[in-house]
Amino acid sequence: MGFYLGIDFGTSGARGMVIDEVGIMQQRVIYPFEMSPRVDLGNIWQMALFSLLEQISGELRREIRAIAINGTSSTVLLCDAVGNPVDAPLLYNDGRGAVVMDRLKSAAPPNHTVLSTTSSLAKLLWMSQQAFFTQAKYFLHQADWLAFLLHGQLGISDYHNALKLGYDVETLQYPQWLDQLQISIHLPKVVTPGSAIAELRPEIAAKYNFPKDCLVCAGTTDSIAAFLASGAESPGEAVTSVGSTLVLKLLSRTRVEDVRYGIYSHRLGDLWLTGGASNTGGAVLRQFFTNTELESLSQEIDTSQASVLDYYPLLKPGERFPINDPNLQPRLEPRPDNPVEFLHGLLESIARIETRGYELLQELGADKLTRVYTAGGGAANDTWTTIRGRYLQVPVMRSMNTEAAYGTALLAMRRMRE
């Protein structure tokens, strides 16, 4: 029997999941982060990684064939020639790159994915202007560095993490315009997510009792890992995450990009993972109802009847997808006295926005929608699922699994099987 280990570095903690050859979960381990502003992040990540390895039962460890790691997209760091961080990593949401946007705009093509203050490339450009940059040899993403700790090879990334560094995922090379920025650093060599990089370092294999030939594979990002966990794998299959916001991802044979709507595509083997994110979602429901109320009131809704209430639920003005209007006003009127009616209107309105989102992706060239898996807090609401199915006109179901660690374990398993 062989097992596969997926490791997820998320915002609140690190998780590991061991699966068997048919994808059945064998063990799940967790290391929560205690965030305080003064902590040495690199150190914490390293401790978390090895704590996860230690928590896995000895029996499973002995038969783990491959390991892959996912990190949060655009969480990056610089390290020296032997892989030690030269300064604190910059987290996914760090906006320091704002000061280099003009320089970035002068090099990158208009509307490119890197033209965001939090992109990996914006962060690298900011770093290149700091004093510590002279000590740096390699620029890595979080997942690349953590994998390096396991396999010992510096300067390797995957094309999911490298997308926001400017790497061209269509031609599989760094674009020429990147040279204009003249950043003197070793950019990672980019490989296919899940492909084998090297065997686990012998001292780690010996210390933790992993097989000597256990492979460490190229990783991915947390959101792609969560998509992989869902069970979606054919063109036309989609995953909607109904969390605080509404995030749509549709698997397609065609690449779709439209910066006006914040739509871009990740490469997924021969397919493209297209998607967009709306500002509507569960956070607006939270403004009016507790989770318990959401559950009980939803049960009183007659799902066979369409609500006549037409809202655009937003916390504040502004929307990007599927309507591109930075001034779009929240529309939450008229509000009926009956909370069941109000909630019915809200759930139907969000379902209409989701449907419009998938229509837009298809209008821009994505494959025809065939099935929608659902993740996030809203996935538990069967009333809402029925309503969404009525609008989407395709089967809507809960994701097989929603944990990024599971998707990353599948990535290690599937690539290894090829």
> By the criterion CB under 6 A, which residues form the site for ligand ADP?
243-244, 282-283, 285-286, 291, 294-295, 298, 376-378, 380-381, 384
Q: Concatenate the DSSP letters of all residues of 218-268 into one string.
A: --EEHHHHHHHHHT--STTEEEEEESSSEEEEEEESS---BGGGTBEEEEE
What is the smallest separation between the CB atom of 289 and ligand ADP, expressed in angstroms? 7
What is the smallest separation between the CB atom of 414 and ligand ADP, expressed in angstroms? 26
**252/280 with CB nearer ligand ADP:** 280
Q: List the end-to-end C-alpha distance of the chain, in Å, as a whole number.
A: 17
**213/382 with CB nearer ligand ADP:** 382
**148/384 with CB nearer ligand ADP:** 384
Sign of the Cα pseudo-torsion (274, 393, 222, 18, in order): negative
Could you tell me which of 26, 30, 31 has the C-alpha nearest to residue 65?
Answer: 26
Q: What is the 3-state secondary structure (H, E, C) of 264-281?
A: EEEEECCEEEEEEEECCC
Q: How many CA atoms lie within 13 A of 415 on its CB side?
A: 29
What is the smallest separation between the CB atom of 186 and ligand ADP, expressed in angstroms? 35
What is the smallest separation between the CB atom of 226 and ligand ADP, expressed in angstroms? 10
Stated as kind and residue range, the H or E segment containing 39 is: none
Q: E-assigned strands of 126-219?
A: 138-141, 156-158, 189-191, 196-199, 215-217
What is the smallest separation between the CB atom of 295 and ligand ADP, expressed in angstroms? 5
**116/280 with CB nearer ligand ADP:** 280
**57/290 with CB nearer ligand ADP:** 290
What is the smallest separation between the CB atom of 245 and ligand ADP, expressed in angstroms? 6
**232/379 with CB nearer ligand ADP:** 379
What is the smallest separation between the CB atom of 108 and ligand ADP, expressed in angstroms? 30
Structure tokens at 293: 């109320």
**294/392 with CB nearer ligand ADP:** 294
In angstroms, the CA 260 to CA 276 distance is 11
In angstroms, the CA 277 to CA 56 distance is 35
